[in-house]
Structure formats: C-alpha cells, structure tokens
Structure 1
Amino acid sequence: MAELARLLATHAGAGRVEWIGLRPERRTAVTAVEKAELTQAGLTGDHARPGKRALTLIQAEHLPVIAALSRRAEVAPELLRRNLVVSGINLAALRHARLGLGEAEIAITGPCAPCSRMEEALGPGGYNAMRGHGGWYAEVIRPGRIALGDAITTIREAPSSP
C-alpha cells in the first residue's frame, strides 16, 4: 500500500496556467485576460459563486481530444466556458488536493460535467465530445492574484485512493 501511495503522490512536475477567461454573466461572451484576482467567490469579473465551484479548470491537453471528437480542427478555450486552461499536470489525479496557483491556494473538488450549451458551441455531438474531458471545479482556500504562466504546484496531496 505504501508503494501505491507513493505513486499517487508523484507527478512529473508543476502545471502551468495557459489561459484565463472571465464570464461576466451567464450566456455572455468569455473574455480572455492575462491576470486576475481570485477571491472566495471566484475570479473578479466572473459570475461564479463562492464554494466548491468557485473556479473551473480544464487541461490544455484535452482541447485537441475535444476537437477531434467534435470533428473540428481546433477548439478555442472560450467556447468551453472554463476559467482556466492549464497544462503539464493531471487534474484528475489531484482531486481533493490543495494546489498553489499564483498567490492563491485552491482545492480541486469535482469534475465539470458538460452542459447542453456544448451542442450550441461545438455542434452536434459537442455534449458527448466533452464527456470525461470537461475539466474540474475548485474551491478557493486562499485568495490571491493569478496570471498567465503561473505554476500550479501541489501543497497537500489528495487522500490516497486507487
């Protein structure tokens, strides 16, 4: 069991913030920004609410998969309506872990299921293209400023589970 715990706690390195998007209101266009203030209620200028879903993240590595499954050449992050696109770290392996993100600290709390808007954004089959690739939501443990290029580091590992 100690070996499994070691494997679960080992990552190749830190992740990186590649894109930040704000959704000022429901169903409005997403605006890309270079930096933002992360509060208990989510990103300043975003319509998120405090709690377990204050921030949404998706892996950059999943964008080509979503594009392929929706028969598109590429998928722009703003179509998917997540707050952050991150690269270099497996978010699924970090559920319930505490992460350093710029000056802030977050905890990955659960997977983001696709919404029916993905059919609108990606075309027929967009909902199913997102299944399993929709990203993760997180709660804010400690507010702070975040910016493009910030590292995403593990502060405290998630409880061990297979």
Structure 2
Amino acid sequence: MTGVVTGRLAGIARHARSRGPIEVVDQVSVSIEGGLAGDFRGALKPGGRGRRQVSLIEAGDWDWAMQATGHSLPWWHRRANLLVEGMDLPQVPGTRLRIGSVVLEITQECDPCSRMEEVAEGLRAALTPDWRGGALARVIAGGDIAVSDAIEIIEA
C-alpha cells in the first residue's frame, strides 16, 4: 500500500520530562535526533534505536476506553504525542506513515503502563487489547506537523 490517505492528525501533545505536565500544541517540529520538539522521549540516546520517539493513539480507541471505564477525560491523559482520527493505526512494525513532510516508522505496540491506573481506574485494562494503547514510532524524516494534517500510509 503506497500513499493512501487514511486519516488526519487530530491532536499533538508533548511533555518536557517524565511524569511532567502535558502541553497540547497545534503544531510542532519533528526531527530524527529529537522527535517532537519539547518532548523528552524523542531524543536519540547514544547507540539507541529510537523505537519510542513518538507515540500515537487512535481517537476511537481512546473514546472506547473512556466509555468502557465510565470516564470522560481528554485524550492527552494517555500521555501520547499524536492523536489520529479516521484511521486504524497499522499494527505491523516497519509500516511507515507520512504526516505533512514527516515520516514515522511504526516500531511496536505502546503498552499501557501502571500510570494509566493513576489516571482512571480500569484504564490500563481498557487500553490493553488490540493495540488500543497506541503505537510507538521512530522518526525517519523530520519536518513540521500541524493539527488537521492528513496521515497516509506510505509503506506497509
């Protein structure tokens, strides 16, 4: 599958340090060396592979988890970087996505951690099946992205 527009970027969030406050932004620069500008997870460590530079979650999966747990929290409580809408995130490592000029490569499932239970009781379990917790990606090509940018699968 090449160049098929499947969704759009519905939200961008970052946090400058572990367990730090989330900042929601409308646009951000993304680089191979640093991931999302201003997000602590994106920086490549010496000898690292950058498998966790960017985290993505589907809007529908977050909505489902909120309904399943009886809560109504904004998506950024998941602490993911990018909210995608109108598509199913590929569940195949190596799949590449283009958002604006940025290219991301899916590396693995983003397993929900115990922190999700601190956010809302039952949330970790609700996000566990079928990659509902989202996907992790490395940056292949940097650039700028903005809310409402199209997302396309360019290599599967």
Give me the TM-score of the superposition, normalised by structure 2: 0.87
Deviation (angstroms), 1:83:
0.1
Q: Is the 8 A contact 2:98 2:104 kept in 1?
A: yes
Q: Is the 8 A contact 1:109 1:137 kept in 2?
A: yes
Deviation (angstroms), 1:14:
2.1
Kindly report which structure 2 residues correspond to 1:4-43, keeping only aligned pairs within 5 A, or say none: 9=1, 13-40=5-32, 41-43=34-36
Query: 2: distance between equivalents of 1:115 and 1:97?
Result: 24
Deviation (angstroms), 1:100:
0.9
Query: 2: distance between equivalents of 1:104 and 1:129?
Result: 30
Overall identity of the aligned pairs, in %? 33
Question: For residue 101 of structure 1, what is the aligned residue in structure 2?
Answer: 99
Q: Deviations over 1:48-85 (max 9, x none)?
A: 1331110000001112111022221x231121000000
Please give the root-mean-square deviation of Cα atoms over the aligned residues, in Å: 1.8
Q: Is the 8 A contact 2:99 2:150 kept in 1?
A: yes
Kindly report which structure 2 residues correspond to 1:11-160, keeping only aligned pairs within 5 A, or say none: 13-40=5-32, 41-48=34-41, 49-50=43-44, 51-72=50-71, 74-93=72-91, 95-122=93-120, 124-132=121-129, 133-157=132-156
Q: Is the 8 A contact 2:3 2:152 kept in 1?
A: no
Q: Is the 8 A contact 2:6 2:87 kept in 1?
A: yes
Query: 2: distance between equivalents of 1:83 and 1:125?
Result: 22
Query: 2: distance between equivalents of 1:47 and 1:149?
Result: 24
How many residues align? The count is 147
Query: 2: distance between equivalents of 1:42 and 1:13?
Result: 23
Query: 1: distance between equivalents of 2:102 and 2:8?
Result: 14
Q: Which of these two proteins has the greater Rg computed from alpha carbons?
A: 1
Query: 2: distance between equivalents of 1:156 and 1:105?
Result: 10
Query: 1: distance between equivalents of 2:74 and 2:30?
Result: 23
Deviation (angstroms), 1:92:
3.1
State the secondary structure of the residue aligned to 2:40: coil
Q: Amino acid of the residue matched to residue 10 of structure 2?
A: E
Query: 2: distance between equivalents of 1:89 and 1:11?
Result: 14
Q: Is the 8 A contact 2:5 2:150 kept in 1?
A: no
- Any stretches of 5+ residues in structure 2 without a counterpart? 45-49
Give me the TM-score of the superposition, normalised by structure 1: 0.84
